[in-house]
Amino acid sequence: MAILILVHNWTIVPRNNPAKEYPSDFDVILLEEGGRRALDALRDHPAVRRVTAQRQVQRTIKYVREDNCGPAGCLYAGWRSHRARALRSLRQPRESGYTSRKLLRTVPRQITSVLKADLLWSLGVTGEGIKVAVFDTGLARHHPHFGRVRERTDWTGENSLDDALGHGTFVAGVIASRADCLGFAPDADLHIFRVFTDNQVSYTSWFLDAFNYAIMRKIDVLNLSIGGPDFMDHPFVDKVWELSANKVIMVSAIGNDGPLYGTLNNPADQMDVIGVGGIGFDDRIAKFSSRGMTTWELPHGYGRMKPDIVTYGSGVRGSSVTGGCRSLSGTSVASPVVAGAIALLASGVPRHNLTPAAVKQALCITARRLPGANMFEQGHGKLDLISAYQFLKEYEPQASLSPAYIDLTECQYMWPYCTQPLYYSGQPTIANVTVVNGLGVSGHVRAVSWHPHLPHGPLLSVSAEFSHILWPWSGWLALSFTVLEGGSDFDGIVEGHVNVTIESHDESGDNAIRNATLMLPIRARVIPVPARSRRLLWDQFHSLRYPGGYFPRDDLRAKHDPLDWHADHVHTNFRDMYRRLREHGFYLEVMGTPLTCVDTSLYGALLLVDPEDEYFPEEMAAMKKAVDGGLSLVVFADWYNASLLRHVKFYDENTRQWWIPETGGANVPALNDLLSMYQVALGDRVFEGSFKLGGHSMYYASGTHIHSFPEHGVLVTARLSDQGRQIMSGEKPGAGKTDDEAHAVDVPILGLLQTAGETRDYSNDTVDKLPKAGRLVVYGDSSCLEGGAARSCHWLLLAALQYALAGHLPAALRDAAAPRHRQRDVHIIPSDLPQRAEGGRLHAYSRVLAPDESGPRPAPECARRAALPARAVHAPPAARTLAPRHPPTDPRTIVGGPELEGTEPAARAWRGAGAGAAARAAPAAPAAPASLASRALTLLALAALVYCLTAVWKRCGRKLRRRRLMSLAT
């Protein structure tokens, strides 16, 4: 009643879909007026769990031409909505023009024959009795490829069930086609959910209604060839959990944003969902396939391993909307391959084994690891259908860990852990492990214990955080590794294992309590503490991103994907920079806490790259003290202009509000507050352009400029165009190239400063004459450090570190430095100091600002993770082998299956002309003796051959020697 008293003009939007006949756990309410007051009333109501905006989901289909994908991946053609959960199959490449000669490879006609589905068909396993839901663009009623379409439903309100785009038809064909391009489970019952309009638009509420209906229809397998970056779309995420809790096996594509890291899409990044990546028929990770890690856990933690598995997603043949076949590529192709494989498996194993956890364990444990690919590219490896079938047939409820072990020395699979050893006083190395609970839909983590292996294991300290409740079917375990002081001079391998005790209710029906203790082997390399000049600190704490607020991309040209959602982590979009620094001997540690919680005296330099958040006053004081004590500061900033922020806003049809960026590419006003103690400030104009610096081709992508700088510092300028003016005036990029060149100005972009405060020139002094205070390097653009940048500036970062850590100014920068009389930017180009935008909502997402807009909140206390008690053990040699891999199943051992010729390039491919199983059963027993006899005959033949060759050589040798003597005598 309280809602009716406060708000009068509101309407519940009626449902016009099949779910209207069933009860629902949500409603869509249309508010005519008093929006803020109404929302507050709804949030305060005791019967309302959560209030969120109705979200439009715009999904566009774009082709993938994998051979032309550039280093940054295959980008979408056209603008992608900030709420997008895009269909993951067809995309345009970002770059073109690259050609190379490649080995020709045979692409098999049937994807089913590659994965040996025909072997299971011969056993009568065809998907019969399994209900598969396809959430896509619909399906034509009388398509000739399908025989068991049990239901077609429309959730869009267009009163159409047909597929005008062809994507839904293709996906359904990969799963259950009966003709031409065969699907995996031809006898499965298809339930077609049309959740996209012909314009490729959908809404969250449509999905929620369709998900509820799928639960009512008792769907077994649900394929989602969709995805988006918004893992904070709570109604969607919560409903996916509910589907899993109701034993619906969810399969989803991880996205086509590769080869960039940190580009996983939701819901594939959820623990209960089987996230699928794509590979080609050469068993290499497809360029378009998104990479891990998950980014939910940042900045305080570390991401989980995803995808779960990979399978063929490039050049796969499937049903065409016209009735024939077509080939498509994308992770939305790989996803139905796995969904169809699961439907096939499910029809041939006991029904009680079909839980989301059991199926996920079967696929992941039996997956075949691909060489050369790391765990954030391939997950557990490539789908092995036959081994998964054998695993599920013999399945006993169990719990498992993903990954099954942590080996910080194993390259390439355990990248990035294997690239940097542990040492005393370093920031914690965090590994996030997923607990897959096959014992029941819900359970508890009862205990976690650490057992170091003698003699060196006790040097490693382990702390653990975990989800006490496992639901649905899964949970997480975050382990933090640090080296104790006793290992400060140690150089070697340390080992141990963590025991995780799980308690869960049995799913068999007798409600019994089952316990399981899982062992997670641990191995790490420990080295002596590196020198301070080799240790770098990366600020992750002040990085903000989408989802949440509208945080724009650093490059204003990126209109196709305007949101900054790649996490700005050294193992995601800054991965290439991280690898370059490691190659040059630097140790890079990630700071996930305020600066006040870090001992800065251990580090040579602090890297502030593209920060979006504000700074605590306590951090600024700590920064001043740290720099005075020798810590250098390296800043790579980005654009910020309050007027430009309002210009790049867009109107959200869902909330009927304008979305204005919470900050620019970087929070320049906050950086200026931090740098003001050194009389350094960045300006509010936005520049872009190509130039040469130190012999390197550079591109300045939407960067800021240096507004003021001390006279004794070093400034480097470049001739750039005013991109902010172009955007504000509506000019098209490149339309007035001559005018742009005419209006180009010399812009200070790089500044180097010795912070001792004296007016001396330290650029050519020796190290022992340098002051103890640290140095400052400021550059106005960070885009060139990101992965996929057309012209990377990693060399510039290395040169900046050379100056920051050793006081030596490289010749490339010294020669490019501006003359002394031009070093004050205010005398070169007119500009203002950037001001914080009015009406912004940065406080709603900030870790520093108070939610009530009262300013910075008090700096948080520095929490120290409690270490697990060390219970040292003398590990037997067998325990030192980390988690042996599940042996692949030889298809010839499947009883009753015919011997088939497969096209999969594997060492265990079938051979033979297809003789029946009965004919082969008899000679199977004497196979081993025959093999020994043949080996013995081969050895005898080789010995006889060697004897004959030796005899011939001796005989011919005598004749040759005689002829030579006779010629000498004559």
| Residue that wins the pLDDT comparison between 961 and 754 | 754
234 is catalytic: no
pLDDT at 8 over 90: no
Range 902-931 average pLDDT: 36
pLDDT, average across residues 907-935: 40
pLDDT band at 417 (very low <50, low <70, confident <90, very high): very high
How far is the first Cα of the chain from the last one, in angstroms, to the nearest whole number?
130
962 has a pLDDT exceeding 80: no
Kindly indicate the confidence band of residue 73, based on its pLDDT and cuts at 50, 70 and 90.
very low
Q: Is the pLDDT of residue 81 over 70?
A: no
Note the pLDDT tens digit of each residue in 573-590: 999 999 999 999 999 999
pLDDT in tens, 326-360: 999 999 999 999 999 999 999 999 998 899 999 99
What is the per-residue burial (b if ≥16 Cβ within 10 Å, else e) of 53-77?
ebbbbbbbbbebebebbbbbbbbbe
pLDDT at 738: 53
16 pLDDT band (50/70/90 cuts)?
confident
Joined tokens for residue 112: 């089913």
660, two tokens: 């204005």
Cα maximum dimension of the chain: 131
Closest CA to 302 of 177, 456, 185, 428: 428
Distance, in Å, from the CA atom of 300 to the CA atom of 275, rounded to the nearest integer, reads 24
pLDDT surpasses 60 at 95 = no
In the set 205, 252, 319, 332, the catalytic residue is: 332
For each of the domains in the chain, give its residue range(s) and CATH number, in order of start: 2-51 (no CATH), 112-395 (3.40.50.200), 417-529+870-880 (2.60.40), 532-844 (3.40.50.880)
| 136 among known catalytic residues | yes
**874/420 Cα distance (integer angstroms):** 27
149 φ/ψ sector (left φ>0, alpha ψ -120 to 50, else beta)? beta
Q: What is the mean pLDDT of residues 861-872?
A: 92
Distance separating alpha carbons of residues 586 and 533, to the nearest angstrom: 8
Phi-psi region of 853 (alpha: psi -120 to 50; beta: other; left: phi over 0): left
CA angle 334, 337, 341 (to 5 degrees): 145
In terms of Cβ atoms closer than 10 Å to its own Cβ (0-12, 13-18, 19+), residue 583 is exposed
Q: Do residues 185 and 175 make contact, with C-beta atoms less than 8 angstroms apart? A: yes
Q: Residue 132 pLDDT more than 70?
A: yes
Environment class of 667 (CB within 10 Å of its CB; exposed 0-12, middle 13-18, buried 19+): buried
Average pLDDT of the chain is: 84
- H and E: helices and strands count for the chain: 21, 35
Which pLDDT score, from 0 to 100, does residue 506 have?
Answer: 77
Cβ distance 600 to 534 under 8 Å?
A: no
CA distance 718 to 744: 10
* Position 742 pLDDT exceeds 70: no
Cα–Cα distance, 235 to 267 (Å, whole number): 12
Average pLDDT over residues 382-410: 95
Residues 173, 163 contacting (CB under 8 angstroms): no
Report yes or no: 80 and 59 within 8 Å, Cβ to Cβ: no
36 phi and psi angles, rounded to 5 deg: -65, -45
Please tell me the distance from the alpha carbon of residue 248 to that of residue 355, in angstroms, as a whole number: 8
Look up residue 274 and give its two tokens: 């089987």
Contact status, residue 480 vs residue 516, Cβ threshold 8 Å: no
Which residue is it, tokens 């001792």?
Answer: 756
* Identified catalytic residue from 82, 145, 167, 380: 167
* Position 201 pLDDT exceeds 90: no
The amino acid present at 639, given as its one-letter code, is W
Report how far residue 368's alpha carbon sits from residue 156's, in angstroms, rounded to the nearest whole number: 40
Q: Which residues of 528-556 are buried (b: 16+ CB within 10 A; e: fewer)?
A: ebbeebbbbbbbbbbbbbbbebbbbbbbb
> Contact at 8 Å (CB) between 284 and 251?
no
Rg of the chain's alpha carbons, rounded to an integer?
32
What does the DSSP 8-state code read for residue 282?
T
- pLDDT band for position 626 (cuts 50, 70, 90): very high
Q: Is 332 a catalytic residue?
A: yes
Residue 96, pLDDT above cutoff 70: no
Least confident of 253-257, 398-402, 556-560, 943-947: 556-560
Marked catalytic residue, from 81, 82, 89, 136: 136
Beta bridge partners, 606, equal: 537, 633
- By DSSP bridging, strand 131-136 and strand 189-194 are parallel
> How does DSSP classify residue 67?
G
Chain CA centroid to CA 362, Å: 23
Give alpha helix (H) positions in 55-114. 111-114
Neighbours of 239 (CB within 10 A): 23
**918, β-bridge pairs:** none
Give the sheet arrangement for strand 513-526, strand by strand. Answer: 406-407, 513-526, 492-505, 443-452, 469-470
What are the C-alpha distances in Å from 641 to residues 136, 705, 879?
A: 41, 12, 59
Residue 578, sorted as left (phi over 0), alpha (psi -120 to 50) or beta, turns out to be alpha
Stated pTM of the model: 0.85
Query: Any residues with CB less than 8 A from the CB of 948 and at least 6 apart, and which?
Result: none
**pLDDT surpasses 50 at 913:** no
Q: How far apart are CA 306 and CA 268, in angstroms?
A: 8
User: Confidence class of residue 839 from pLDDT cuts 50, 70 and 90?
Assistant: confident
Residues in the chain: 970
Q: What pLDDT is stored for residue 826 in this prediction?
A: 45
Half-sphere exposure in the Cβ direction for 373 (13 Å, CA): 28
Cα angle 415, 416, 418 (rounded to 5 degrees) comes to 75
pLDDT tens for 693-710 read 989 999 999 999 999 999
> What confidence category does residue 530 fall into, taking pLDDT thresholds of 50, 70 and 90?
very high
CA distance 720 to 167: 45
Greater confidence (707 vs 41) lies with 707
